[in-house]
Structure 1
Amino acid sequence: MRRPHTLSSLILTYVLVILVVTMGLGFGLYTRVSGRFLDEDTERQALAIAQSVAADEGIRTALAAGDPGHEVARLAERVRAADDAAYVVVVDRAGVRHSHPNPALIGQLLDNPASALDGQTHVGIDQGSLGPSANGKAPLRAADGTLLGAVSVGILESTVSRRLWSEIPLLALYTGGALAVGVVVSLFLARRLKRMTFGLELDDLAGLLQEREAMLHGIREGVVAFDPHGRLSVINDEARRLLELRHATIGVTLDDLLPDGRLRDVLAGTDAGADQVVLTDEFLLVVNRMPVRLGGRDVGSVVTLRDRTELEGLLRELDSVTGLTDALRAQQHEFSNRLHVLSVLVGMGEHEEAMSYLDELTTTSTGQAEQLRAQITPAALAALLLAKITIAAERDILLTVAGDSRLENPGPDPRALLTIVGNLVDNALDAVAESPAPRQITVRLRDDADVITIEVTDTGPGVAADDTDRVFTDGYTTKPTRAGVRRGLGLALVHRLVTRLGGTITCAPGPGGSFTTCLPAARPVVRT
């Protein structure tokens, strides 16, 4: 297998490639621009030489006299040598050369004398007999301004190229320095990035990202991560479902995600502790928050969310069934004793006494159920209260339904009504279980007008005046923890259900517990 490239080698390679490409393009652009500037500068230099020759008094005098002693060629050659020009050509008005580096051309006519004798200055590139050159032309005039001829000076392109190439070492030095700086910077950058990534290479980071995505979205627990500034950095699909954050955006703060409440306090760490139980509108969550430190640095926190809604409901149902089973077991012993009494009475021949005893037992057991059924029309609610009365009796607690209780309308949600009454009664049973006698609970149910009123009072210690509002907060309890059952959820669950149904629930301060719930009654459908 091919060995993967390290982060430092990749950075170094890419930086060098970028530098080489940019330096190459820069070098080409520099040589082109410099060459153009040098051509223009050399053309101006050639024109300046031509103008100085045209202003030479000796040349003007000799040319005006027809140059009988060939003085023009000598003076022009001296200027050419002194200024390192390729040629200095002086022509008269007829276009005849009076000077030229090639003596054979002296006395010959120019190929195009009209452009040279128009009385104007010219610059450009001349493709002459000596090769391409930067050329400058200047008119040669007498003292009175009469046009005597023209002077043409050329500087070969090879001279310009030598000047350009003389600057290459400096450019090469600059390029080498830039490459050296790029190498040093790339190595420094690679080292810093490697320290920031805890020594992991690119392949390792890609693998970690894939594993993280697979883990986050593959587990059945909600996972939420926050950076050191409290901004959301990670959230998986299960957390979005449990927190009902379908469109949560990475980078937002917790204050923007959730409203003020216990859930936000637990996620932020304000309400600290392990296995914090939080009740939302839809779920019962077990929340754990852990700070995260890597390399001695605080990198934020991770919160895990577990959905315990169904499990908690099953545990509570199991707890209720267990209590009912214990009550039935105790009643079984009581009924066995009663049957034993009947058996002895019959065996003794006391048939009338036996019949009287049996009638008394039948009247007592069925009378209470019939009376409760007459007061409470919903059969499920009546059965629930009868079961709670049996459980209370087994725990030596007197649970009674007030004589003025009347309930025919189960409200908009009969199942919610069962949950509300059941939780309030269970809470009262726990409250008076350890209280001294008399241990009594009274339940009053009314459906007057459009309101269903549920009152549950007990002779327990009650709720302190300062805690009448906090008592409905999930997790708040004054009872000792019991294995298998989470405290501080019953009243919070009741409060959530009542609020969702549009009702209210209030708690009166102690001594004695007193909870009053008002629910809107279901409106009957009028059929025509």
Structure 2
Amino acid sequence: MSMRALNRVRGWRGRNRKLYARILVWQLAILALTSAIGFVLLAIAQRAQLDREYENQALAIARTTAAEPQIQHAMEYGGGGNVVQEIAQRIKNASRASYVVVFDLHGVRHSHPHPALIGQRDPGVTVDGQTHVGIDVGFTGISANGRAPLLSPSGKLLGQVSVGIPEKKVTGELWSELPSFGLYAGIALGVGVVAAYTLAHRLKRNTFGLELEDLAGLLQDREAMLHGIREGVVALDPHGRITVVNDEARRLLGLGTALGSRLDEALPDGRLRRALDGTLTGSDVTVLTDSHCLVVNRMPVTLHGHELGAVVTVRDRTELVGLLRELDSVRGLTDALRSQQHEFSNRMHTLAGLLELGEHDAAYEFAVESAGAEPLLAESVRDRIGNPLMVGLVMAKTTVAAERGVRLALTEDSELGEQPPHLDRLLTIVGNLVDNAVDAAASGGQGPPEVRLAVVEDPTRVTVRVADSGPGVPAVARDRIFEDGWSTRPDRGTARRGLGLALVHRLVQRHGGTIDVSEGPGAVFTVVLPQPHAADADEAGTDGTEELPRTRLAEKGAGW
């Protein structure tokens, strides 16, 4: 779609909202929110880290105090007294702790920042000889607390030393570090803003400035168009993967759930896949499948010099081609009837002239000879072929061949019953092969133009052999002669060449038969169809209905 068409779509929608601007605003809001959350989480983590550091610092002061010899001596022999309070106060002032408290084994304080509490028991203290850290809420406020056991020089447990560092020191250090955290968050936010703006600008360019409503409308229109048209549409990416396939394409090509698959994974190797992947070039490429006659067109898609893949359209022309061939067949029979009319008029004029000259005997002989030629030919065909439909086909082809100056002869070894099991397939095969042979014989070759037809039925198979006096099939063409669309002759009227032999080949293979062609001069096509088993008699009876469209399509052969 061109930019002008896209702008018209935007005008039809009547909206001018900036999708990229909305996306940018939302991205900035998300970035700001995540940056704030990250800043808060980082501050919380740093606060926990500082608490641990100050708790360990308090524990270190407590261990230093517990290792003081004077305190150990006073607690072991002197019962404490002012010595413990003085030394604990000195250590408190030197370390800037909020308190340094010495407890005995009963939890009685021997030092405290508030002298009134000395000598009183703290019920929340347990002297167990272990170190402890944590947050303590006491008379001096919230503190990072560390507790260490107090031991005598001999290792006897005397009590416990508890040291607290005021929480305001932790908070003060945290506040001193917050500006650097804010700087990091600001840098990350700035980088995110630049990235968001770049992404929004690129999104605007990739969507051609369309808004969300426009994109949704285009998607709905595309789906409605793809699944509403009567042509199959397949879109391929540059790597040959199927990105879009509508319902008609699934039906005609038998793709099924092929979305996302490569062509070589979805379709077997053949003319159809070569037409879809671009190996076969040109417009209106004719492809014959088991059920349809398709016309395939492939159009590469490029944007700003970049290859985006290709779009393939597939049209079903089965009925149209069949009708065109019926029309061409009717025209051929009409020409043959017109020729017979002229021939009949000439004979009547000759007969009238003989009678006028009084040559009654000569007139009688001429009349008998003219009246018996056609019935003799029909009787000769009926002696070898019992089915009236096949007799009618052979007689019609004989008349058409004679119009083109070609003699069509049924061989002496031909023999076909009244109800052959392959009747409809035989009508298709014989009609196409004879038409091709007449074309070849009429185009030149060695000797007089002639086509020889043999149809032989035995208990195991039915054999059809058609030989012509034409130039034969070139050796280089033997591998391609049964490909649909291949021909060495131009189209004839409304009938498109290159389909007749392909139809015969597919029909024979589908029913387990074989088809062979000899090298020139003069081509000999031999088709062998196996007789169906007795258990398949009912199935064979339905084959005629299944093949009727195929017979109608192939009745007038496409030529080589």
For 1:134, what is the secondary structure of its paired residue?
strand
Task: Give identity over the alignment, percent.
Answer: 53
The code of the aligned residue for 2:314 comes to L
1:263 aligns with 2:275: no
The offset of 1:22, in angstroms, is 4.1
The code of the aligned residue for 1:375 comes to R
Equivalent residues of 2:107, 2:125 under 8 A apart: no
Match of 2:456 in 1: 446
Aligned length: 522
The offset of 1:513, in angstroms, is 2.5
The whole-number CA distance in structure 1 between the counterparts of 2:361 and 2:252 is 67
Equivalent residues of 2:108, 2:122 under 8 A apart: no
Name whichever of 123-132 and 304-313 sits farther off.
123-132
The code of the aligned residue for 2:61 comes to I
Out of 337, 341, 345, the residue aligned to residue 336 of structure 1 is 345
Match of 2:496 in 1: 486
Cα pair distance change 1:122/1:224, threshold 3 Å: closer
Match of 1:500 in 2: 510
The code of the aligned residue for 1:86 comes to S
Out of 10, 22, 25, the residue aligned to residue 23 of structure 2 is 10
1:50-61 to 2 correspondences below 5 Å: 50-53=62-65
1:255-294 to 2 correspondences below 5 Å: 255-294=264-303
Cα pair distance change 1:320/1:150, threshold 3 Å: closer
The offset of 1:262, in angstroms, is 2.4
Equivalent residues of 2:106, 2:121 under 8 A apart: no
1:297 aligns with 2:306: yes
Cα pair distance change 1:376/1:58, threshold 3 Å: closer
The whole-number CA distance in structure 1 between the counterparts of 2:52 and 2:383 is 117
The whole-number CA distance in structure 2 between the counterparts of 1:438 and 1:93 is 136
For 1:472, what is the secondary structure of its paired residue?
coil
1:65-104 to 2 correspondences below 5 Å: 76-89=88-101, 100-102=112-114
For 1:289, what is the secondary structure of its paired residue?
strand
Equivalent residues of 1:409, 1:521 under 8 A apart: no
Match of 2:246 in 1: 236
The offset of 1:278, in angstroms, is 1.8
Name whichever of 55-64 and 261-270 sits farther off.
55-64
Equivalent residues of 1:242, 1:307 under 8 A apart: yes
- What is the aligned-residue RMSD (CA, Å)? 3.7
The whole-number CA distance in structure 1 between the counterparts of 2:331 and 2:414 is 28
The whole-number CA distance in structure 1 between the counterparts of 2:415 and 2:128 is 128
Equivalent residues of 1:12, 1:183 under 8 A apart: no
The whole-number CA distance in structure 2 between the counterparts of 1:502 and 1:114 is 99
Q: Which runs of 5+ in 1 are unaligned?
A: none
Cα pair distance change 1:476/1:95, threshold 3 Å: closer
Match of 1:35 in 2: 47
Match of 1:324 in 2: 333
The offset of 1:472, in angstroms, is 1.8
Match of 2:554 in 1: none
The C-alpha deviation readout for 1:285-341, integer Å capped at 9, x for no partner, is 222222221221112222222222221121112111101101111222232344455
Q: Between Structure 1 and Structure 2, whose CA radius of gyration is higher?
A: 1
1:217 aligns with 2:230: no
- Per the normalisation by structure 1, the TM-score is 0.85
Match of 2:404 in 1: 395
Cα pair distance change 1:496/1:170, threshold 3 Å: same
1:415 aligns with 2:428: no
The C-alpha deviation readout for 1:203-258, integer Å capped at 9, x for no partner, is 444333333322222222222222222222222222222222224x2333222223
Cα pair distance change 1:24/1:341, threshold 3 Å: same
Cα pair distance change 1:454/1:31, threshold 3 Å: same
The whole-number CA distance in structure 2 between the counterparts of 1:147 and 1:509 is 117
The whole-number CA distance in structure 2 between the counterparts of 1:451 and 1:139 is 110
The offset of 1:62, in angstroms, is 8.6
For 2:302, what is the secondary structure of its paired residue?
strand
Higher relative contact order (CA 8 A, sep 6+): 2
1:169 aligns with 2:182: no
The offset of 1:397, in angstroms, is 2.0
The offset of 1:138, in angstroms, is 5.5
The C-alpha deviation readout for 1:49-106, integer Å capped at 9, x for no partner, is 34444555677789977999x676666544433322223456789988776545xx44
For 1:184, what is the secondary structure of its paired residue?
helix
For 2:218, what is the secondary structure of its paired residue?
helix
Match of 1:112 in 2: 122
Cα pair distance change 1:447/1:109, threshold 3 Å: same
The whole-number CA distance in structure 2 between the counterparts of 1:433 and 1:29 is 94
- Per the normalisation by structure 2, the TM-score is 0.80
Cα pair distance change 1:169/1:455, threshold 3 Å: same
Cα pair distance change 1:110/1:236, threshold 3 Å: same
The whole-number CA distance in structure 2 between the counterparts of 1:525 and 1:139 is 103
For 1:166, what is the secondary structure of its paired residue?
helix
